[in-house]
């Protein structure tokens, strides 16, 4: 767990640097940092860079183990004839981060990475998971669209043993400690921070949440850039909200309509008595929000044919559970991480709640209204 937290802290530093460059109009086009995959979803220097450093750092920390990693990205674009400039940007980002690895209690490589080292590290993340054995699951930048827009995103790392998620770490660089900031776009937050700098130490700068199965606790610490300044005793426990009345509850959902049916979730919200406007948030930050009690409900119902990937959920699931929450598919069954890179057998959608009462009502509402949906 401690190694995983340190690795995610380091990875978040790389992400923050890349995101800052994207938000500078003069440098964004020059950096060539954003590209499109075949499915038109964005991928950035940060996605490949984080995958490379997490791959190398985990292998370096656990040299006596045959590290197996399931991760979102591959090296096809970087290895192509058109990818030379992009690969060069990834190499620079990775070396800039790894040279500072000792600040996080980790080891730096003896030599700077070359292009072939980057490609090798990314290719090492080629596991396909399954029901047996031990493997890591990584989403290097969960919520890449939010990332390129200067909004919420997460670095998500989990460990799975024999099909069960045993630990999860969520790095949320744009998720300050104060709940109120979730209601504002991050560009506004950064502007206001410059006008009136927060006075609460480093807690406004982002956070890292983590938990392991069976401990009955989830923890949060501030995002830092020098682990020597972080006292682990200052990490604090997070718990889900105690709100059980739907009238007082808040639900969150994905921002993009392509990822969920806003109309269906709006109907569900109305049928169970939810009155507050939904909070639309990019990435697994939604899971972090439930775990620390900022919201009570997360609902996602993808359109027919879409398959959920394990890296989009693994880290958040164990954190919510250990913080006291409930997360299942829409049929009330646990999410199954034992069947490869997809959440096979998922019943209609995913429902996460702060407690069993709200969860029971949402599941019942889905059963009552599903046949009239267009999903």
Query: Choosing from 13, 44, 75, 144, which is the catalytic residue?
Result: 144
Run of H or E including 53: helix 45-61
Q: Which residues pair with 156 in a beta bridge?
A: 139, 170
CA–CA separation, 160 vs 313, rounded Å? 12
CB 298, CB 252: distance < 8 Å: yes
Residue 13 is a catalytic residue = no
Run of H or E including 90: helix 84-98
What is the DSSP annotation of 126-179? Answer: B----SSSEEEEEEEEETHHHHHTTS--EEEEEEEETTEEEEEEEEETT--SSG
Q: 231: buried, middle or exposed (CB in 10 Å: 19+, 13-18, 0-12)? A: exposed
Say how many residues make up the chain.
375
> 142 labelled as ligand-binding?
yes
Strands (E), the chain: 34-36, 42-44, 69-71, 134-142, 154-161, 164-172, 207-212, 218-222, 236-238, 251-253, 279-280, 297-300, 326-329, 350-353
CB 281, CB 150: distance < 8 Å: no
Residue 44 is a catalytic residue = no
CA–CA separation, 191 vs 42, rounded Å? 25
Complete edge-to-edge strand list for the sheet that includes strand 326-329:
279-280, 251-253, 297-300, 350-353, 326-329
> 256 labelled as ligand-binding?
no
Strands 326-329 and 350-353, bridge-based pairing: antiparallel
Give alpha helix (H) positions in 247-347.
262-272, 285-291, 314-322
> 74 labelled as ligand-binding?
no
Q: How far apart are the first and last CA of the chain?
A: 39
- CA 287 vs. chain centroid, Å, equals 8
CA–CA separation, 95 vs 275, rounded Å? 49
Query: Choosing from 47, 75, 151, 329, which is the catalytic residue?
Result: 47
Binding residues: 72, 139, 142, 312
Binding residues for Mg(2+): 72, 139, 142, 312
Active site positions, annotated: 47, 144
């Amino acid at each position: 767990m401690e190694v995983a937290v340190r690795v995610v802290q380091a990875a978040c530093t790389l992400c923050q640097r890349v995101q800052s460059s994207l938000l500078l109009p003069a440098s964004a086009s020059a950096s060539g940092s954003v590209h499109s995959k075949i499915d038109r979803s964005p991928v950035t220097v940060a996605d490949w860079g984080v995958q490379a450093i997490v791959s190398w750092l985990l292998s370096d920390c656990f040299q006596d183990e045959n590290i197996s990693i399931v991760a979102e990205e591959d090296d096809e674009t970087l290895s192509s004839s058109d990818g030379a400039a992009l690969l060069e940007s990834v190499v620079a980002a990775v070396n800039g981060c790894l040279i500072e690895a000792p600040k996080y209690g980790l080891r730096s490589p003896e030599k700077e990475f070359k292009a072939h080292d980057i490609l090798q590290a990314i290719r090492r993340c080629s596991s396909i998971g399954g029901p047996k054995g031990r493997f890591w699951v990584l989403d290097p930048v969960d919520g890449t669209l939010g990332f390129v827009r200067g909004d919420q995103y997460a670095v998500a790392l989990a460990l799975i043993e024999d099909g069960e998620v045993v630990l999860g770490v969520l790095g949320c660089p744009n998720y300050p400690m104060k709940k109120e900031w979730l209601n504002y776009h991050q560009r506004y937050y950064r502007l206001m921070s410059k006008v009136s700098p927060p006075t609460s130490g480093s807690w406004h700068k982002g956070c890292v949440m983590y938990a392991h199965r069976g401990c009955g606790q989830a923890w949060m610490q501030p995002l830092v850039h020098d682990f020597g300044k972080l006292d682990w005793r200052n990490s604090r426990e997070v718990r889900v909200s105690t709100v059980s009345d739907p009238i007082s509850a808040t639900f969150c959902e994905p921002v993009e309509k392509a990822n969920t049916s806003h109309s269906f979730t709006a109907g569900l919200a109305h049928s169970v008595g939810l009155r507050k406007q939904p909070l639309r948030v990019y990435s697994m930050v939604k899971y972090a929000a439930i775990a620390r009690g900022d919201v009570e409900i997360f609902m996602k119902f993808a359109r027919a044919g879409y398959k959920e990937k394990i890296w989009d959920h693994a880290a958040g699931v164990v954190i919510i559970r250990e913080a006291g929450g409930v997360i299942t598919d829409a049929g009330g069954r646990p999410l199954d991480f034992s069947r490869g890179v997809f959440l096979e057998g998922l019943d209609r959608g995913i429902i996460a709640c702060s407690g069993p009462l709200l969860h029971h009502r949402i599941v019942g509402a889905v059963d009552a209204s599903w046949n009239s949906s267009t999903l």
